């Protein structure tokens, strides 16, 4: 039970467990744990890799059939770490009949386990997960100042990625008022602002930024689940990639990645990042 001994910090019921599974898969980077941030607005799954890429999956309270958050007299969020590997493995065990299943999420409070109850046709299965203190709390990136923004249909962005040189180590993105260009050492793709699949195109300044290609590939799982995708750039070159999905009831949920440009790396850090990113691609 929670410290007050009377009520849980969180009790929530989700009619579509696949939504939870999609978020866990999408934000899973090389680090096996992620930070869970529970608040009156919903649940965030936050993961990052070497401070250079950050993934945030947000399940708003409107997605839930029931969402009860109580943190004593305070409305402050509660944060802890949990193993994404274990969560994903548990949910995969119950993926045969997602259409008839519900998942209940319970968190009693500090120093307690995080509990999932999966119900199908009146039969309940329970799984408990150890929680860990956030020794180094993740500071969420923000995009207070946006210099360029494009809203793609996900199908167009999937086609673009399919044509990219998958062996490249660097991607150069160029943005102007009329088009966006994506280039590696071996190829270049240009998309005009009026192209099919471009829903919104806003450019405040010409911009040229380079990113680690292997790091950007971490966004591909989220893209595969999404309906639309937004790419925003800050004047400093930080890229925000947002992927919008809908559950079966039509409610939206979002997964967002923040990626820092190669200009933020020194030579040593770039070499380390290249190696660690390669390792992350070899994990299932």
Question: Which domains are seen in the chain, by residue range?
Answer: 10-129 (3.70.10.10), 148-281 (3.70.10.10)
| One pLDDT digit (tens) per residue for the chain, 284 residues | 334 445 789 999 998 888 899 999 999 887 788 999 999 999 999 998 877 899 999 999 999 999 999 886 677 889 999 999 999 988 888 764 566 788 999 999 887 899 999 888 778 889 999 999 886 656 766 788 999 999 999 999 999 999 998 889 999 999 999 999 999 999 999 999 999 999 999 999 999 999 999 889 999 999 998 999 999 999 999 999 999 988 776 678 899 999 999 986 555 444 544 444 444 444 33
Nearest by Cα to 25 from 204, 236, 205, 219:
219
Nearest by Cα to 219 from 197, 246, 243, 238:
243
> Would you state the structure tokens that stand for residue 88, as one six-digit string?
């994903």
Under 8 Å between Cβ of 129 and 118: no
CB atoms within 10 A of CB 222: 26
d(CA 228, CA 155): 8
d(CA 247, CA 18): 9
What is the DSSP-derived secondary structure letter of residue 263? G
CB atoms within 10 A of CB 181: 14
d(CA 250, CA 209): 36
Under 8 Å between Cβ of 125 and 115: no
Start-to-end CA distance of the chain, whole Å, equals: 35
d(CA 96, CA 252): 24
**Quick one: angle between helices 84-92 and 17-27, nearest 10?**
140
Where helices occur in 82-232 by DSSP H, the ranges are 84-92, 154-163, 213-216, 220-225
């Amino acid at each position: 039970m929670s410290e007050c001994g009377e009520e849980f910090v969180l009790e929530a019921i989700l009619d579509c467990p696949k939504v939870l599974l999609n978020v866990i898969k999408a934000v899973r980077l090389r680090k096996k744990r992620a930070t869970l941030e529970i608040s009156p607005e919903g649940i965030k799954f936050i993961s990052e890799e070497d401070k250079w890429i950050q993934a945030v999956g947000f399940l708003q309270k409107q997605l839930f059939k029931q969402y009860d958050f109580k943190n004593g007299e305070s409305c402050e969020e509660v944060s802890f770490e949990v193993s994404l590997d274990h969560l994903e493995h548990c949910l995969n065990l119950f993926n045969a009949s997602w259409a008839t299943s519900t998942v209940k999420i319970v968190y009693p409070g500090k120093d307690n386990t995080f509990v999932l109850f999966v119900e199908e046709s009146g039969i309940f299965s329970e799984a408990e997960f150890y929680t860990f203190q956030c020794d180094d709390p993740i500071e969420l990136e923000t995009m207070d100042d946006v210099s360029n923004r494009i809203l793609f249909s996900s199908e167009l962005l999937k086609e673009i990625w399919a044509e990219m040189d998958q062996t490249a180590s660097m991607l150069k993105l160029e943005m102007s008022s009329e088009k966006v260009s994506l280039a590696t050492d071996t190829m270049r793709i240009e998309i005009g602002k009026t192209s099919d699949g471009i829903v919104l195109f806003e450019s405040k300044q010409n911009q040229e930024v380079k990113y680690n290609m292997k790091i950007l590939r971490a966004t591909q799982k989220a893209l595969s689940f999404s309906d639309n995708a937004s790419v925003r750039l800050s004047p400093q070159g930080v890229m925000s990639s947002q992927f919008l999905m809908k559950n079966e009831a039509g409610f939206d949920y979002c997964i967002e990645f923040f990626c820092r440009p190669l200009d933020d790396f020194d030579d040593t850090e770039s070499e380390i990042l290249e190696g660690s990113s390669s390792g992350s691609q070899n994990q299932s």
